[in-house]
Amino acid sequence: SIDQTHLTTKVLGTFGYLDPEYFQSSHFTEKSDVYSFGVVIVELLTGKEAILTFGSQEKRGLVSYFLLSMEENHLLDIVDVEIGKDSQKDEVVAVAELAKRCLNLDGRCRPTMKEVAMELERFRTRQGDCIPIDQPKQA
């Protein structure tokens, strides 16, 4: 099995996933992993990597791109085509709002990982209620 501490350190140590507060304090907190997880959610939503390359090799963080898109009401323009289908817009927006909370620059304002997990479980349960179940065919 993979050593969780090693894995967490590796992810946290990757530039695009680093908690911005770390640059000021040089310390990780229990909310640093929440920030990193928020980055992963955004990657999954957009189908893009944490560091984006635009035009002539200009590199920009996915997080700022995502937050700006949300601020300007263009979230659905940057969402991966496969998950941005009409039937899933509400779920996409809800997950994006959760990611936005995880990416708060002030770690104290971020949810805990437990709260994030509970929220994701609520999405999953709610989504499960909407999935039509095929009725068995009558013989």
Which tokens sit at 3?
A: 């050593």
What domains appear along the chain, each with residue ranges and CATH number? 6-121 (1.10.510.10)
Q: Measuring CA to CA, which residue among 84, 108, 85, 118 is closest to residue 32?
A: 108
Average pLDDT over residues 65-84: 88
Listed in order, strand segments (DSSP E) in 1-139 are: 51-54, 58-61
pLDDT at 138 over 70: no
Query: Tokens 């911005």 sit at which residue?
Result: 20
pLDDT score for 88: 78
Which tokens sit at 112?
A: 């805990």
The pTM for the full model equals 0.72
